[in-house]
């Protein structure tokens, strides 16, 4: 096997062979992945190809002979690289710069066939990352890395966390842009000499300038323009004429025409135009990328939605923004809360549900001194953890985009992308027809100008930008109004919404302003402390209300704590068994008082009840009045029906209200609506709502300052902005209108350009300059139109 460097194409996948290419027996492969897959297909068996054979209790594969990965036997280093560990199951993520084509994807996602101890391997092709889950009893991190290296996919392992692939790509793109600018500037200078000489230049000088122009233009054509070639080729392999195909065609035509004129002595060529096309098109893409990053929804999300943690400072708890949490801080994790960062368990009994991370719901018992991972949900009583990794190094943020929460609705490309694809084909045909017309008229200058400029000026980049930039602006404006989307692709779903379903407690009610009364036996200080200590294990808003009423500052430990979703809590405190919850939970009849009634039982004896008269959030009466005009309204509450009349004052006398709903009841109610062809938005506080969130078409979580993270939702709205939901929904629905308007303006822009291009009076260089101008136009129009729509609905358009 030897290096293969000539420009040819892979026998397996058809990709262009680059510097990683291989040739074996006169057969060419673009990468080692294609070579292996090709051989595997010939052998018809992946295991036979790798000569896997049985040994006592484990399968053995060909071992990487080098000892370069011996450092991965060090436990401290392994712990830095492992992103999740659940008993025998371990997760790891690697950056693989060698990922090149579909063969790489095929091979890397079948690692389990080579090493049976690998449970799964998932590739992010765009980011060139692989996520591997393996059984640590059958293999280890070192063997996983050795396997990848033996397949010619040696991972980039950085222990200092400084690897930034995005920055690396930006550097490469900057180099391409710099080379293109250098080539364009120098070719243009030499072309000016030709233009100003008016045919009087000596032949030897003319020849030198012509050859020098060809040589200088080659780096731009072969290196800087490779982004367009790769994109166009990938599209062709999928049977799609994407937006880069006309650009590539224009470059080849311009370069070929220039070589012909220079070689035949009939002209000086258009190498200045060709290098100008590359340079200005790269500027256009760079401008799009920079602006897109600036206004588009930040994929880390941490800068957008509020995530808070309960931090312990000198024995006193306070809620702080998660981004301020540092290593060695102490955090308190309540029952049913998501662990926000990796940490070491220092206090409490941990029963962690890692279903948000691994999909496995069986709770894992963690002992003091052991590591707990972000994304796990604590099922027992309060924990305290010592932060091991700061927020930015944790895996919590990726949960919101976990495939577990994406399977309910798969999104397809919309009509605008399809129109743009057809538009590309039409542009190519139009350029050919224009060229044919001018050729028949024997106007060859006009012929070449028409062919090339039509391909450039009518490129549908601006058409495709209309959707991306509009959605990016909408997400940005919504963030100013306390509404944060998991993905901008969700925006189009709001046009189909027909029904809104609301939770009550913690959603419609104020988190802090309640009128709490106690009726029953006199509460001694020890009983107040016991009740408050038990309530402190939970995050339920009614429990927090009672805690504020009791004003207990010091808490005692709770043993055998249990929380029954939608019903109540129980535990042992100072040798007393305490139960707090609904009438059904403590097994007594409800007397039907107005308000939320919470009963307290000690050692199987009822000692009293708390009646909480809820305070509702400001503006919800106007919110429901607006929503009722266009949507069906349903209330699903786990609370009793004592507040029925108060709620009807807000929602309306004909509203559908369902009380005493368990989490499963809520899920079934939403399923029934969907069976009736209703498109449902569920609005809740995330507590006991995870099932309903996943079942609904769109799930909106209401977050207050003491709320944690709820990965099952599609959007988060700050509680103080709940009354803005009607305006937010109208603004989201206006996005489709905005796109149509911008799309129409883009089409008019292209038609005007075509008018001049078809006449052959537009030069390729001018057309190349017009392309980035069209992008700037679309960015500006999208920005202004989105601002206009938001301002009409009285939504905030700035951070001020």
Task: Say which residues have a Cβ less than 8 Å from residue 76's Cβ, sequence separation at least 6.
Answer: none
Higher pLDDT pick, 13 / 625:
625
| pLDDT in the model for residue 162 | 45
Question: Hey, what's the torsion of the CAs at 329, 330, 334, 337, to 10 degrees?
Answer: 20
Helices (H), 594-724: 620-627, 644-651, 663-675, 690-695
Paired tokens of 279:
């340079």
> Among the listed ranges 122-126, 318-322, 411-415, 445-449, which one has the minimum average pLDDT value?
411-415
Per-residue pLDDT band at 697 (split at 50, 70, 90): very high
Per-residue pLDDT band at 2 (split at 50, 70, 90): very low
Pairing of strands 698-703, 680-684: parallel
> Among the listed ranges 155-159, 165-169, 429-433, which one has the minimum average pLDDT value?
165-169
User: Looking at the predicted structure, is the pLDDT value of residue 472 above 50?
Assistant: yes
Nearest to 620 by CA among 586, 589, 655: 655
Higher pLDDT pick, 316 / 242:
316
Q: What is the pLDDT of residues 704-715, one digit of tens each?
A: 865 555 677 888
Asked if 250 and 452 touch (Cβ cutoff 8 Å), the reply is: yes
Asked if 257 and 439 touch (Cβ cutoff 8 Å), the reply is: no
User: Looking at the predicted structure, is the pLDDT value of residue 671 above 60?
Assistant: yes
Per-residue pLDDT band at 770 (split at 50, 70, 90): confident
CA–CA dist 19, 32 (Å, integer) = 12
Domain 70-150 class in CATH: alpha beta
Asked if 474 and 786 touch (Cβ cutoff 8 Å), the reply is: yes
Asked if 697 and 714 touch (Cβ cutoff 8 Å), the reply is: no
Paired tokens of 106:
């095929």
| pLDDT in the model for residue 4 | 34
| pLDDT in the model for residue 301 | 40
Asked if 410 and 383 touch (Cβ cutoff 8 Å), the reply is: no
Per-residue pLDDT band at 5 (split at 50, 70, 90): very low
Classify domain 482-511+617-730 by CATH number. 3.40.50.1000
Per-residue pLDDT band at 799 (split at 50, 70, 90): low
Q: What is the mean pLDDT of residues 102-122?
A: 81
Exposed/middle/buried for residue 648 (C-beta within 10 Å: 0-12, 13-18, 19+): middle
Q: What is the pLDDT of residues 394-408, one digit of tens each?
A: 455 555 655 445 444
Domain boundaries, the chain: 70-150, 165-290, 306-339+341-393, 482-511+617-730, 515-613
Compute CA distances 159 → 78, 81, 103, 327, 387, whole Å: 10, 8, 29, 17, 19
309-319 in b/e form (b: 16+ CB < 10 A) is bbbbeeeebee
Q: Which residues make beta-bridge pairs with 2?
A: 23
Compute CA distances 761 → 175, 191, 447, 454, whole Å: 33, 20, 10, 11
Nearest to 672 by CA among 638, 636, 703, 639: 636
| pLDDT in the model for residue 105 | 74
Higher pLDDT pick, 690 / 304:
690
To the nearest whole percent, how much of the chain has pLDDT over 70?
76
User: Looking at the predicted structure, is the pLDDT value of residue 659 above 50?
Assistant: yes
- Please measure the distance between the N-terminal and C-terminal CA atoms of the chain and give it in whole angstroms: 64
Q: What is the pLDDT of residues 333-385, one digit of tens each?
A: 988 888 888 889 999 888 888 776 765 667 788 888 888 888 788 888 889 99
CA–CA dist 184, 1 (Å, integer) = 39
Paired tokens of 22:
């291989």
Higher pLDDT pick, 583 / 193:
583
Higher pLDDT pick, 292 / 734:
734
User: Looking at the predicted structure, is the pLDDT value of residue 221 above 90?
Assistant: yes
CA–CA dist 742, 779 (Å, integer) = 10
User: Looking at the predicted structure, is the pLDDT value of residue 294 above 60?
Assistant: no
Per-residue pLDDT band at 500 (split at 50, 70, 90): very high
- Is CATH 2.60.40.1120 correct for 306-339+341-393? no
| pLDDT in the model for residue 396 | 52
To the nearest whole percent, how much of the chain has pLDDT over 90?
25
| pLDDT in the model for residue 722 | 95
E strands, 65-201, where?
A: 82-86, 89-95, 118-124, 129-135
| pLDDT in the model for residue 399 | 57
Q: What is the mean pLDDT of residues 64-87?
A: 77
| pLDDT in the model for residue 52 | 41
> Among the listed ranges 284-293, 566-575, 670-679, which one has the minimum average pLDDT value?
284-293
User: Looking at the predicted structure, is the pLDDT value of residue 63 above 80?
Assistant: no
Q: Which long-range contacts (CB under 8 A, 24 or more apart) does 315-319 make?
A: 319/705, 319/706
Q: What is the pLDDT of residues 706-743, one digit of tens each?
A: 555 567 788 889 889 999 999 999 999 998 888 888 77
Give the count of beta carbons closer than 10 Å to the beta carbon of residue 544: 18
CA–CA dist 164, 9 (Å, integer) = 31
> For the CA atoms of the chain, what is the radius of gyration?
32
- CATH architecture of the domain with range 515-613: 3-Layer(aba) Sandwich (3.40)
| pLDDT in the model for residue 27 | 62
Give the count of beta carbons closer than 10 Å to the beta carbon of residue 676: 10
| pLDDT in the model for residue 341 | 85
């Amino acid at each position: 096997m030897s290096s293969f460097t000539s420009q040819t194409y892979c026998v397996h996948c058809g990709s262009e062979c680059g510097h990683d290419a291989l040739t074996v027996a006169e057969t060419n492969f673009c990468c080692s992945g294609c070579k292996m897959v090709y051989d595997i297909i010939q052998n018809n068996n992946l295991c036979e190809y790798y000569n896997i054979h049985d040994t006592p209790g484990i399968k053995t594969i060909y071992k990487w002979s080098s000892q370069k990965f011996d450092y991965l036997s060090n436990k401290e280093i392994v712990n830095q690289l492992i992103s999740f560990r659940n008993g025998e199951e371990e997760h790891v993520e690697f950056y693989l710069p060698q990922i090149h084509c579909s063969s790489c994807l095929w091979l890397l996602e079948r690692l389990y066939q080579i090493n049976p101890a690998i449970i799964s391997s998932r590739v992010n092709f765009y980011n060139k990352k692989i996520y591997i889950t393996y059984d640590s009893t059958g293999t280890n991190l070192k063997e996983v890395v050795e396997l990848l290296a033996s397949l010619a996919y040696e991972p980039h392992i950085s222990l200092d966390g400084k690897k930034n692939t995005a920055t690396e790509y930006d550097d490469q793109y900057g180099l391409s842009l710099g080379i293109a600018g250098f080539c364009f500037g120098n070719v243009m200078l030499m072309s000016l000499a030709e233009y100003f000489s008016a045919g009087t230049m000596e032949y030897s000088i003319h020849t030198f300038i012509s050859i020098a122009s060809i040589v200088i233009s080659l780096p731009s054509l072969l290196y800087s323009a490779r982004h367009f070639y790769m994109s166009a080729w990938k599209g062709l392999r999928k049977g799609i004429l994407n937006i880069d195909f006309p650009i590539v065609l224009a470059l080849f035509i311009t370069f070929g025409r220039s070589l012909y004129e220079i070689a035949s002595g009939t002209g000086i060529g258009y190498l200045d135009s060709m290098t100008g096309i590359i340079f200005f098109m790269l500027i256009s893409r760079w401008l799009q990328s920079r602006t897109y990053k600036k206004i588009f929804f930040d994929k880390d999300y941490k800068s957008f939605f509020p995530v808070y943690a309960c931090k312990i400072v000198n024995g006193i708890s306070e809620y702080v923004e998660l981004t301020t949490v540092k290593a060695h801080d102490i955090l308190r994790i309540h029952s049913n809360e998501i662990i926000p960062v990796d940490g070491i368990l220092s206090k409490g009994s941990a029963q962690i549900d890692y279903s948000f991370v691994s999909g496995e719901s069986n709770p894992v018992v963690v002992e003091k001194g052991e590591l707990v991972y972000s994304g796990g949900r604590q099922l027992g009583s309060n924990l305290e953890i010592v932060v091991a990794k700061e927020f930015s190094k944790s895996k919590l943020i990726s949960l919101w985009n976990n495939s577990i929460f994406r399977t309910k609705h798969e999104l397809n490309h919309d009509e605008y992308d399809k129109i743009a694809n057809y538009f590309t084909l039409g542009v190519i045909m139009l350029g050919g027809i224009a060229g044919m017309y001018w050729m028949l008229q024997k106007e060859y200058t006009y012929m070449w100008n028409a062919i090339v400029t039509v391909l450039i000026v009518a490129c549908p980049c601006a058409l495709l930008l209309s959707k991306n930039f509009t959605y990016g602006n909408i997400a940005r404006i919504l963030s100013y109004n306390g509404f944060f989307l998991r993905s901008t692709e969700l925006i189009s779903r709001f046009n189909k919404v027909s029904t809104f379903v609301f939770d009550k407690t913690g959603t419609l009610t104020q988190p802090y302003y309640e009128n709490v009364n106690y009726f029953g036996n006199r509460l001694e200080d020890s009983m107040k402390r016991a009740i408050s200590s038990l309530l402190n294990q939970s995050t339920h808003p009614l429990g927090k209300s009672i805690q504020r009423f009791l004003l207990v500052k010091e808490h005692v430990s709770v043993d055998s704590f249990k929380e029954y979703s939608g019903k109540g809590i129980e535990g042992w405190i100072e040798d007393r068994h305490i139960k707090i919850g609904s009438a059904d939970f403590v097994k007594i009849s409800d007397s039907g008082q107005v308000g939320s009634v919470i009963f307290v039982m000690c050692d199987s004896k009822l000692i009293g009840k708390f009646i909480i008269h809820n305070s509702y959030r400001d503006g919800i009466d106007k919110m429901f009045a607006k929503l009722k005009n266009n949507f069906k309204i349903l209330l699903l509450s786990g609370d009793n029906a004592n507040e029925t009349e108060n709620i009807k004052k807000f929602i309306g006398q004909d509203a559908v209200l369902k009380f005493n709903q368990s989490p499963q009841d809520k899920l079934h109610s939403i399923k029934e609506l969907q069976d009736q062809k209703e498109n449902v938005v569920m609005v809740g506080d995330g507590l006991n709502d995870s099932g309903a969130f996943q079942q609904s078409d769109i799930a909106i979580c209401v977050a207050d300052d003491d709320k944690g993270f709820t990965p099952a939702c599609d959007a988060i709205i700050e509680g103080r902005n709940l009354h803005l939901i009607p305006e937010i929904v109208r603004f989201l629905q206006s996005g489709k209108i905005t796109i149509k308007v911008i799309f129409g303006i883009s089409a008019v822009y292209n038609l005007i350009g075509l008018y001049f291009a078809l006449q052959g009076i537009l030069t390729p260089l001018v057309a190349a300059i017009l392309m980035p101008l069209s992008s700037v136009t679309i960015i500006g129009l999208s920005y202004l139109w989105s601002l206009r729509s938001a301002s009409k609905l009285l939504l905030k358009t700035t951070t001020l």
